[in-house]
A and B are shown apart, each in its own frame.
Chain A
Amino acid sequence: MALEALAKKLAAERAQVQKKVKVCMGTGCMGGGAEEIFRAFQEEVERQGLEAKVVPVGCQGFCQGGPIVSVEPYQFFLNKVSVFDVPKIVDIALRRGGELPQHFYRDPETGMVCRRKKDMPFYRYQTRIAMKDLGEINPMDIEDYIAVGGYLALAKALTEMHPEEVIEEVKKSGLRGRGGAGFPTGRKWEGARRAPGEKKYVICNGDEGDPGAFMDRSIMEGNPHSVLEGMLICAYAIGSDEGYIYVRAEYPLAVKRLELAIEQAKERGLLGERILGTNFNFDLHVKKGAGAFICGESTTLMISIEGKRPAPRVTPPRSVEQGLWGMPTCLNNVETFANIPAIILNGGDWYAQYGTEGSKGTKAFCITGKTRNTGLIEVPMGMTLKEVVFKVGGGVMGEGKFKAVQTGGPSGGCIPDAYIDASVDFESLTRLGSMMGSGGMVVVDDRTCMVDFARFFLSFTQRESCGKCPPCRIGTYEMLQILDRIVAGKGEEGDIERLEAIGRMVKKTSLCGLGQSAPNPVLSTIKYFRAEYEAHIRQKHCPAGACTSLGNYVIDEDCVLCGLCQQSCPYGAVLEERDRFYIENTLCQKCGTCIAVCPTGCIRVEPGVKEEAV
């Protein structure tokens, strides 16, 4: 059957099933017990004798509310579901269409109860292209994807378009690489097509070693076929017959679902020989990474696939000319590929209507840290940071005050409150000393010490430096030593200037993107939060009260001896004498629990260096 007719038939079949429960099976929700909930729904639906389908779906992004369940046809979006809620949900929501206010999201600003996804501020401001079908379809069933128009773009490209036309369309869309560097995708494909060579490769970079970013994982888990389809179209455009998906081994579920998707696509004749009855052949392998951040760098990734000790190489020659095993190779990120089917189906101009002059389309971000809504979002480029953090992210959680947002993963930079109105696109983030990176976005509040925060990122990049080039290997090590000292209360005058000098040098002289961007967190925090560094060095004081070696917790005279601090201290650092409580600073980890529970607010932080336990 032709693909289009099949899609219609499958869509009609699916429209017939009236009642449906969709259970989110992303890693986040599964951490909250989504598997048990899924099984419980199956049993309960059967027990109550209902005609309803229970469908596993991919991540819908609202991980804060997980585990998440939606009930069709009412479009109810239920948060924080547990196994014990299942009989009630089946009986009330699924059977009678009744509402379950206790599971609906309530907007903390307005108090409005949101029954449906589209009522929620979190979803209202998003525009979804790459993640359109996430949470809607069963990622383990190729028919679900075909029913929503999957693989139609491939069919269109293969039967109606010349490879050059495909590339032209991608160029027109203005799509830039979503892995972070932002190289125009169409130009990369064109380069790969023009490169001479019998054998060419397509590689999908699903390494995603960034801490705090999981959009690629969610796409691979939630809609693996969209990645496959994007890769197939790319292969057709550049004239390749073999490809790899490189996934980090920490994502076992993504590996499993991709392998399943490949198997299903092969059965359907969408992968392998003579795809869709044309002369186009394409074979695809999944390659598991083994836990090295540097393997996300494109030249390193290829060396890793070749089975050698990975380290980046000097470019040129660029990968599109000499990549995997010396052959022309087109390497793109998961999100880039996931955008391709929509671009081919709707045209490049349609895609280019979203975004800004230099950055077209939408971008997926993972918004995490101290925000009310943590999760996966996709917004048009050019939205302001403020809109992203406060409208989609829901603002800062708890009592804290917004301090900064860190974008671009461990090698991005921190953007302070003053620049919160900046637009989110490739150019504007770079101008502010940060970058798009893979799209991690971490919001921090006034309880986060920026020196410690910078040190955290640097310790990550330092550890993950492959060690091939000295500026990165030695430079990041030296910087980390200085930061360690400052955080421990042993900072000296001139340390800030030293950090700046080394940082600039590392940026300028490193071989690959890791080193070139590793100093960003340090340089940007010095630029925007210099006073905090100075307080650490001169007053031996951590203004945020976060550095465990700096400052001592003290209980004032206002203490009413209620003992709450002692009960709540996880470290047993609140000790008592006959007529008072006091904090033993050799035990105190400065977690702030005591300050949070103290009813009279009499616990404060005094500047000073922590005494070492004897």
Chain B
Amino acid sequence: MTSIEARAREITARYRGKEGVLVHILEDLQEEFGYLPEEALAVVAAERGLSLAEIYGVASFYARFYFTPRGKNIIRVCTGTACHVRGASRVLAKLEEGLGLKCGETSPDLKYTLETVSCVGCCALAPVVVVNERTQQVLDPGKVLSVLKKE
């Protein structure tokens, strides 16, 4: 048994006998591994008596579940309405250029993941970029790369 399987088994066991907790298990797994490894999902499938397809059906529906490893620094560009009106797409373009990544990609050295988020509710600061847990105001696209230096 690999270590991933062992950890996945422990996590799944916490929910034994409870109904409607698949999303919670997936959340816990993702917290543990940073993404949802196939081996771990196979454990969940066996434990919960579901097919792997059913689990993928649920997990792939939500934006917050990932099936590939993610970067150490997660950069999320808010593309909510206020941010859009104040130029979020240009901020994203600048970041894509600066990091050499397309939106949704992770750099090969697993240093950065670049993605968008629909709204973080900091419309007053728009456009904003969330680096890891920190919400940062971006004054203009020219300065966007400097938010990374702060981390």
Contacts and interface: CB of A to CB of B under 8 A. Distances in A.
Interface of A: 27-28, 30-32, 63-64, 66, 208-214, 217-218, 249-252, 288-293, 304-310, 325, 366, 368-370, 374-375, 406, 410, 440, 442, 444, 448, 453, 456-457, 460, 466, 548, 568, 570-571, 589, 591, 593
Contact of A369 (B26, B61, B65, B82): B82
B19 interface: yes
Contacts of B125: 28, 31-32, 63, 66
B123 A214 contact: yes
B94 A570 contact: yes
B145 to A, nearest CB: 10
B81 A406 contact: yes
B119 A27 contact: no
Interface in B53-94: 54, 57-58, 61-65, 79-82, 84-87, 89-90, 93-94
A38 to B, nearest CB: 16
20 contacts: A27-B122, A28-B121, A28-B125, A30-B135, A31-B136, A211-B79, A213-B121, A217-B121, A218-B121, A250-B120, A291-B64, A305-B20, A308-B22, A368-B81, A370-B85, A442-B81, A456-B81, A570-B90, A570-B142, A593-B142
Given A291-B63, A570-B94, A211 B142 contact: no
A28 B61 contact: no
A283 B61 CA distance: 29
- Closest 4 CB pairs between A and B? A214-B121, A63-B124, A570-B142, A211-B80
A212 B81 contact: yes
Q: Could you say which of B21, B80, B89, B121 has the most chain A C-beta atoms within 10 Å of its C-beta?
A: B121
Given A290-B62, A290-B63, 4 more contacts: A32-B137, A249-B64, A369-B86, A589-B93
A100 to B, nearest CB: 21
Contacts, number: 146
Interface string B125-151: 110100001111100111000000000
A589 B96 CA distance: 14
Given A27-B120, A28-B122, A570 B141 contact: yes
Contacts of B120: 27, 250
B124 A211 contact: no
Contacts of B20: 305-308, 325
Given A211-B118, A211-B119, A444 B85 contact: yes
B79 to A, nearest CB: 7
B119 A304 contact: no
A212 B80 contact: yes
Nearest to B136: A31
A6 to B, nearest CB: 34
Given A305-B20, A442-B81, A63 B122 contact: yes
B58 A63 contact: no
B22 A307 contact: yes
A211 B118 CA distance: 6
A310 B90 CA distance: 33
A209 B118 contact: yes
A406 B122 CA distance: 18
Interface residues of B, number: 47
A404 to B, nearest CB: 11
Nearest to A251: B121
A291 B63 CA distance: 5
A232 to B, nearest CB: 23
A448 B87 CA distance: 10
A374 B122 CA distance: 10
Q: Could you say which of B20, B23, B26, B65 has the most chain A C-beta atoms within 10 Å of its C-beta?
A: B23
Contacts of B6: none
A42 B59 CA distance: 44
Contact of B81 (A211, A309, A568, A589): A211
Given A214-B119, A460-B118, A589 B90 contact: yes
A292 B124 contact: no
B122 A31 contact: yes
B27 interface: yes
Q: Could you say which of B62, B118, B125, B128 has the most chain A C-beta atoms within 10 Å of its C-beta?
A: B118
Contacts of A66: 124-125
Nearest to A593: B140
A64 B124 CA distance: 5
Contacts of B57: 309
Given A369-B85, A374-B82, A212 B140 contact: no
A63 B123 contact: yes
Contacts of B87: 591
Contacts of B126: 368, 374
A290 B21 CA distance: 13
Contacts of A290: 23, 26-27, 62-65
A442 to B, nearest CB: 5
B117 interface: yes
A368 B123 contact: yes
Nearest to A456: B84
Contacts of B19: 306-307
Contact of B58 (A64, A209, A218, A307): A307
Contacts of B79: 211
Given A290-B23, A369-B82, A27 B94 contact: no
A304 B23 contact: yes
Contact of B62 (A213, A252, A292): A292
A442 B82 contact: yes
Given A292-B63, A308-B58, A591-B87, A31 B128 contact: yes
Q: Could you say which of B19, B57, B122 has the most chain A C-beta atoms within 10 Å of its C-beta?
A: B122
A212 B90 CA distance: 18
A13 to B, nearest CB: 34
Contacts of A288: 27
Interface in B4-29: 19-24, 26-27
B124 A309 contact: no
Interface string B95-127: 000000000000000000000011111111110
A529 to B, nearest CB: 15
Contacts of A289: 62
Nearest to B88: A456
Nearest to A305: B20
A430 B126 CA distance: 28
Contacts of B135: 27, 30-31
A183 B137 CA distance: 38
B55 to A, nearest CB: 10
Nearest to A292: B62
Contacts of A212: 80-82, 119, 123
B85 A442 contact: yes
A218 B80 CA distance: 17
